[in-house]
Amino acid sequence: MWVQILFLIFFFALMVFVGFLCRKHAKNVDGFVLGGQKAGPWLTAFAYGTSYFSAVIFVGYAGKFGWNFGVASTWIGLGNAFIGSLLPWVLLGRRTRIMTNHLKSKTMPEFFGTRYDSKALKLISAVIVFVFLIPYTASLFNGLSRLFTMAFPTVDYTVCVIVMSLLTCVYVIAGGYMATAVNDFIQGIFMVFGICAVIFAVLHENGGLMASMGALADKAGWEYSSFLGADPLFLLFVIILTSLGTWGLPQMIGKFYAIKDEDSIKKGTVISTVFAIIVAGGCYFIGGFSRLFSESVNGAPAVGYDNLVPTMLENMGPVLIGIVLVLVLSASMSTLSSLVLTSSSTLTLDLVAPLKKKPMSEKKKMLFIRLFIAFFIVVSALIAIYQARSTNESSVSFIADLMGVSWGVLAGCFIAPFLYGLYSKKITRASVYVSFFVGVAMGLTQLVKSIAKFSFHVPFLDDLVFKSSIHSGAIAMILGLILVPLVSLVTKKMNKNRMDEIFSCYKKTVTVEATTALKIEEEEDH
């Protein structure tokens, strides 16, 4: 146990040190929320990746989907890398940085309010972020509980939650965005080396790659060691939800607001994609071998889905367990810091400040943001502790279902109006309302159906749309992408002059020296 304790002491001390080191960047709202827009490609790329991949993926999703799909679950990781990391950087990175800077928006709700000239949209989107990011934040602690219990069987899991919450609170409040970005970079390095070590250990346990594949086929069936897995259609829904969803999540898109320049975006695209291939691809790849470490009982693992990955690692030595513990803490704390910073800045700048009769000073905004950071962390920790300790199955089920729905609601509401809003002047205010309505309605319907076990008695809805939060979330995103342009065709257009002014940020007049121009003309004459 001393090995794990030493790992944790070093890790926590480093995080707090970085937080206080970055205080100079957090002297005003712009510096605290966006780091003064000075984050380079490495910091931004790692901040994006570590915010994307949390302990939920490593412990929960890797085990569950690895069990259900076998090694084909690796496709989820590759989808995360290319659809969830590469494409957003290519399609959203540059345009987000330019337009948000032009509109002077620091949050996604502020972007909606300014881009679509609507205070109502700004407030509605801020409420959606506020309501659905809290359960999503609380879900980060779930992946920790199983692994922490395995590493420290005599220590109460509540202690881990409290310590992690306090330390995250300290470095985020002290250093703001830049502290989270620098810590994300350090945590990302831990995650890369940790995943590589785990892959090697898992394969070595079963005699190497080919021996592991053969053992998996013998024990579970050929479909679990095959290219498409046991359930290709459900696999596709998982890839859509976990990959396309990042295009509309405020804590992910916010990374593009803060990046330094266009050159940083080009480099960050490559760095972010490689990081995702290693971390996400590696997580789901090792999860694919989970059937070798647990017996099946009525089609489910005997140890439970959340215990699959800890079970795979429990006999692999204290050093590896210490590395994995730091890996999972890194994944959890990086995502937690990003989420609470997004939630608190959104609540302050888009809900509290607009409702004040007098304009809020920079100092007061900073105070509110810091208070809300503490509030979000405390609430999320209390939810996680309650869920871990509660014997009331209905209460635990409600929290778990709300966590599952959160990602789908946020992405379903925001992807289409944000993406199209960066590219087209023709997107109307009414279409954004439709997207918000569809995203929330799909999520709440899924929540009611899951909790009340309500059946619609419609085969298509029961078997495809609302079969799980993964199905409903993925379909909400696709519906938004279809409905927003269609509704925009038949609803009142935005003011043309205003749209021309907003999109003028993409057009810059380049002036050349006369001697250069003359030289070109002379060459053309010859």
- Rounded to 10 degrees, what is the CA torsion of 292, 297, 303, 309? 40
522 CB contacts (<8 Å, ≥6 apart)?
A: none
pLDDT for res 157: 74
Picking from 107, 114, 167, the residue whose alpha carbon sits closest to that of residue 133 is 107
For the stretch 390-434, pLDDT in tens is 666 665 556 666 777 888 899 999 999 999 999 999 999 999 999
Please give the helix or strand (H or E) that residue 523 lies within, else none. helix 514-525
pLDDT at 6 exceeding the cut of 90: no
pLDDT for res 518: 44
Mean pLDDT of 236-251: 87
**Average pLDDT value for the chain:** 83
- Rounded to 10 degrees, what is the CA torsion of 362, 368, 372, 374? 90
Distance CA 25, CA 257 (A): 16
pLDDT for res 462: 63
pLDDT at 99 exceeding the cut of 60: yes
Mean pLDDT of 61-67: 85
pLDDT for res 145: 62
pLDDT for res 123: 92
Query: Please, what sign has the CA dihedral across residues 233, 238, 244, 245?
Result: positive
pLDDT at 466 exceeding the cut of 90: no
In this prediction, residue 454 has a pLDDT band, given cuts at 50, 70 and 90, of low
For the stretch 299-329, pLDDT in tens is 788 877 777 777 787 777 777 777 777 777 7
pLDDT for res 396: 55
- Domain 2-22+36-359, second-level architecture: Up-down Bundle (1.20)
Domains of the chain, by residue range, sit at 2-22+36-359, 390-502
For the stretch 340-359, pLDDT in tens is 888 899 889 888 888 787 88
pLDDT at 36 exceeding the cut of 50: yes
Q: Are 353 and 106 in contact (CB under 8 A)?
A: no
Q: Are 257 and 100 in contact (CB under 8 A)?
A: yes
Q: Which two tokens stand for residue 359?
A: 């304009």
In this prediction, residue 151 has a pLDDT band, given cuts at 50, 70 and 90, of low
pLDDT for res 446: 86
Q: Residue 234 burial by CB count (10 A; 0-12/13-18/19+): exposed, middle or buried?
A: middle
Q: Residue 501 CB: number of other CB atoms within 10 A?
A: 11
